[in-house]
Amino acid sequence: MTPMTPGTAEFLLAFADDEHLMGQQHTEWIGIAPFLEEDMAFASIAQDELSHAALLYAIVTDKGQGGPPDDRAIDRLAFDRNADDYRSAQIVEVACTGWAHALVRHWLYDTAEELRWSLVARSELEPLRDTAARAAREERFHVRHADGLIDVLVRTPDSAGRLAGAVNDVLPLATGLFDPVAGEAEAVEAGVTSAPFDTLLPEWTDRVRARFPDIDIGAIAAPASAGRARRHEDFAALMARMNEVRSIDPTAIW
């Protein structure tokens, strides 16, 4: 029996949507990051996330057969669905227009993402297993990059204060990454993933505490769960920016 059930497809789409939108958000810092080297580095990391998204969408489009990717079908999933059909978490939809917020989101997201890939490292779905191995090689550098910047910035009071403010703003949305997605139980059942993502929430929270020891994480109010079903109010503008050029000629070959 193929593990590629409708529930598995839902599960993969949620993962792919997160990677896609996170990658897009990071690329938008090209040209305006605090210094030239970071411009390129952040956009390069973003491209890694976009490639993860493309690989995950490809698994959905060819039902886990591992064939050559159908770019058109991948684009339809990535760009052409109705807003309600996306399964992204609000952390990747919200606009972070300040660098402190973007950096804190980068750290929170990639720390969670590293854990997320570990759950599918021994997936019954072979292309997912391969993608997980590749992503794991990249994610350790993403987290190191975010850690390296934060290590420097927390040493000055002004930067540390900005980061603390950003953690307060972003953390409640970040916990939404762990909201169970439709199909997850089925994906666990089929051996596509080894456990629900929220089983790693305590591990992630420990890492957040270790990274931001001066912040009282318990005091930050958790939002009502969006369950990946409701789009953040910034989602529409994000999609419009992503489709701005593409919509000029939807038939163009890129």
Partner 1 sequence: MHTYEVFLKRDGQEEYRHAGSINAPNDELALLLARENYLRRAEADLLWMVDRAHLLVGDRDFVAPNSDKPHRDNDGLLVAAHRKSQRGGM
Residues forming the site for partner 1 (CB under 8 A): 35-38, 40-42, 44-45, 47, 141, 144-145, 148-149, 151-152
CB of 26 to partner 1, least distance (A): 12
In the complex with partner 1, the residue whose CB is nearer, 19 or 124, is: 19
Please count the CA atoms within 13 angstroms of the CA of 41 that sit on its side-chain side: 16
The answer to whether 189 touches 119, Cβ cutoff 8 Å, is no
Cβ proximity to partner 1, 140 vs 241, nearer residue:
140
Residue with smaller CB distance to partner 1, 35 or 254: 35
- To partner 1, the closest distance from the beta carbon of 176 in angstroms equals 28
Instruction: Please report how close the Cβ of residue 95 comes to partner 1 at its closest, in angstroms.
Output: 23
* Dist CA 133 CA 106 (whole Å): 21
Cα separation of 109 and 103, whole Å?
A: 10
Beta carbons of 64 and 125 less than 8 angstroms apart = yes
Of the two residues 126 and 151, which places its CB atom closer to partner 1 in the complex? 151
Q: Token match 């997980």: residue?
A: 132
SS3 248: helix
Least distance in angstroms from the C-beta of 148 to partner 1: 4
